[in-house]
Structure 1
Amino acid sequence: MPKVILTIGGLLCCIVIIVTILQSQSNPHSSCTIKKGKQPLFPVHIDGRSGYIDREGSLVISTQYKEADKFYEGLAAVAMEKFPWDKPKWGYINYCGEMIIQPRFDDAYAFHEDRAIVAIGNRYGLIDSNGRIIVNPRFDKISKFDQGTAHVLLDGKEFYINKFGEAVKPQLDLSTINDLVKAESEGKWGFVDKLGHFVIKPKFESVEQFSEGLAVVQINGKRGYINQVGHIVIPPRFDGAATFSEGLAAVEIDSKWGFINKRGEVVIKPQFDHAYYFVDGLAQVFLGNSMGYVDTQGKLVWQPTE
């Protein structure tokens, strides 16, 4: 009898192991995401090669790639070549640097809604996060998915597809729209509500979508910010301005980019040739063609490199 109990116990143990393996295979990057998902990673370039740093600026995935993109939905597109003279092929890694989807594509983009756009030759298709080709590359162009549909171009015709490549009519879920939507009328820009009614009159030369309660507007060639009732809260005085993210926005003053807070105060002095919005505490900044990262206090956690 003890031998029988031991056999059953061993069998149960084997079943648990098999189930665990199958679960990991069904989503091979999940365990790594759980382990390192709370620590975002950022692509960097050193001497023509790309790798990833953490928020403190430590190199955690070596510069082994020809090109590297940002992480989305736990995966990042990277380009590698077998030999220096080869044309790079694109695949996807997880947060641990493990190659989850082998490099076999001529181009690859970030995942959105469990679909990534990939190219074979000059035709584009879709894969899922396990690397399975869901839509064979046959389109001239595919946009990223939004609410389950993507805009495509095929032989001069434009239409929308679902996640399986079937032609559909896009259905906008208005309940997901929290902010006003920019709209143009007679050459001027304003904002409409969910029903398409202008609630901020079209009187601006250009606008950007609202972010964190403020929107970029342009008046007489200068950019500033309005709130959601249309009041100017940061007067248009900037040559360039980006949307707010994590309480800060990149602005251009005298051909250099820095960052302001929501009171319009310069908190990171203009010193960069270009700057992008903050994500997970860091923003990309450029000096010439060299890219680095700055934190919200203005500290360069990664000196600009090419």
Structure 2
Amino acid sequence: MKECLYLIKIDNLYGFIDNKGEIIIEPQYKNARNYSDGLAPVLTRDNQRGYIDFENKMVISINAQYIGEFNNGIAEITVNGRDGCINRQGEFLVLPQYDMINAINLSGTIVVKIDGKMGVVDKQGNFLIKPIYKSLSTFSEGLAAAINEQGKCGFIDEKGNTVIDFKFKQNSFFSEGLAEASLDGEKFGFIDRSGEFVIEPKYYQVFEFKEGLAAFRLKTGGKWGYIDKCGNIVIKNKYQSVGNFSDGIAVFENKDSSGYIDRNGKVMLKNVFSTTDEFKNGLGCVTYEGEWGYVNREGEWVYKPRNFDLW
């Protein structure tokens, strides 16, 4: 069994390669997504949706409009416009009855939306937290960002207890001990689990912390850079667009082309690509003139787009 396979697209068909760039599953699917929990969701040429294993065996075949990636043994599906969840055997855990499955948590609980309100159910579909919130994020580090009936933002635990008061205009989930928050919806900073700002709200936009760094931009200038957990600028704000750090590498975009930088802001791969994805399992996915490719941390090609001839 392969530990990890990577999605490729050739002539509008999807297949998979290994980490050496060798094609393991020939491009044959009209649509596909990456492997998760050992299974990949695919759409065959005859419009059958299901999940394949690493040997390209269809282990789950299901009649649905949408099938998501597995997360902790649970996958979201959409049937007749309603969302539910299945297990790795293709059995319904939660019948398709909800407006939306918003998140599948590490604990196996599921954030759902019904009649315009969000709550949390267990794997049997029983409500653990009643659907009373306008919005509810995934639970991260034991807390979820929530918006109450009055439109105020706070944080609750998995029992539904309020842990951080509903006093914010906007907020997001915790990552690496800090969460994005704003009191006025215009200036953003970061709070700790006590609900106090540890990085003052002065940014126009921020991303969550990943690998000790968070992307930010100011209203004046509008360019992106990175700060550390003390609020120090580590990488100057000079990018048109950026992504989170993963494996010590982040996506950046300038002049409508994408590349990669390291934690010091050094360009590892020039911005010549149409799109770049964050690094996963040591490889980054790029596209060039509609063709897919993969590079490693040294900037070497593992799988090269057919049309690429710049190096």
List aligned pairs for 1:13-52, cutoff 5 A: 35-37=1-3, 40-52=4-16
Larger radius of gyration: 1
Tell me the residue number matched to 1:85: none
Match of 2:71 among 112, 116, 120: 112
Tell me the residue number matched to 1:25: none
Does the 8 A contact of 2:28 with 2:45 survive in 1?
Answer: no
Q: Please say if 1:257 is aligned against 2:258.
A: yes
Does the 8 A contact of 1:242 with 1:249 survive in 2?
Answer: yes
Tell me the residue number matched to 1:19: none
Deviation, 1:281, is 1.3
Residue type of the alignment partner of 2:142: D
Which shifted more, 296-305 or 113-122? 296-305
Higher relative contact order (CA 8 A, sep 6+): 1
Deviation, 1:43, is 1.1
Equivalent position SS for 1:263: coil
What is the CA deviation profile of residues 250-296 of structure 1, one whole-angstrom value per residue up to 9, with x for unaligned ones?
11122211111111111211111221110011112122443322222
Higher helix fraction (1 or 2) = 1
Does the 8 A contact of 2:60 with 2:90 survive in 1?
Answer: yes
Label 1:69 to 1:233 Cα distance change in 2 as closer, same or farther (>3 A): same
Does the 8 A contact of 1:245 with 1:277 survive in 2?
Answer: yes
Equivalent position SS for 1:165: coil
> Take 1:183 and 1:81, find their aligned partners in 2: how far apart are those partners?
45
Deviation, 1:103, is 4.0
Deviation, 1:305, is 6.8
Where does the alignment leave 5 or more consecutive residues of structure 2 unmatched? 130-135, 144-156, 158-173
Does the 8 A contact of 1:189 with 1:205 survive in 2?
Answer: yes
Match of 1:154 among 114, 131, 152: 114
Residue type of the alignment partner of 1:119: T
Q: State the identity %.
A: 34
Does the 8 A contact of 1:277 with 1:283 survive in 2?
Answer: yes
> Take 2:18 and 2:69, find their aligned partners in 1: how far apart are those partners?
19
Which shifted more, 266-275 or 138-147? 138-147
Tell me the residue number matched to 1:182: 180
Tell me the residue number matched to 1:127: 86
Tell me the residue number matched to 1:15: none
Match of 1:136 among 60, 71, 95: 95
Report the count of equivalent residues. Answer: 265
Tell me the residue number matched to 2:146: none
TM-score by length of 2: 0.79
Q: Please say if 1:173 is aligned against 2:138.
A: no
> Take 1:235 and 1:158, find their aligned partners in 2: how far apart are those partners?
39
Tell me the residue number matched to 1:26: none
Match of 2:104 among 139, 145, 152: 145
Label 1:142 to 1:305 Cα distance change in 2 as closer, same or farther (>3 A): farther
Tell me the residue number matched to 1:59: 23
Does the 8 A contact of 2:103 with 2:112 survive in 1?
Answer: no
Which shifted more, 111-120 or 149-158? 149-158
> Take 2:245 and 2:291, find their aligned partners in 1: how far apart are those partners?
23
> Take 2:58 and 2:29, find their aligned partners in 1: how far apart are those partners?
11
> Take 1:273 and 1:59, find their aligned partners in 2: how far apart are those partners?
23
Label 1:304 to 1:168 Cα distance change in 2 as closer, same or farther (>3 A): farther
Label 1:103 to 1:63 Cα distance change in 2 as closer, same or farther (>3 A): farther
Deviation, 1:98, is 1.5
> Take 1:79 and 1:305, find their aligned partners in 2: how far apart are those partners?
24
> Take 1:49 and 1:276, find their aligned partners in 2: how far apart are those partners?
19
Residue type of the alignment partner of 1:287: Y
Deviation, 1:81, is 4.0
What is the CA deviation profile of residues 72-106 of structure 1, one whole-angstrom value per residue up to 9, with x for unaligned ones?
11111111143xxxxx2321111121211124322
Tell me the residue number matched to 1:303: 304
What is the CA deviation profile of residues 202-243 of structure 1, one whole-angstrom value per residue up to 9, with x for unaligned ones?
110111111111110112301000011111111101111111
Tell me the residue number matched to 2:41: 77
Deviation, 1:116, is 0.3
Residue type of the alignment partner of 1:231: N
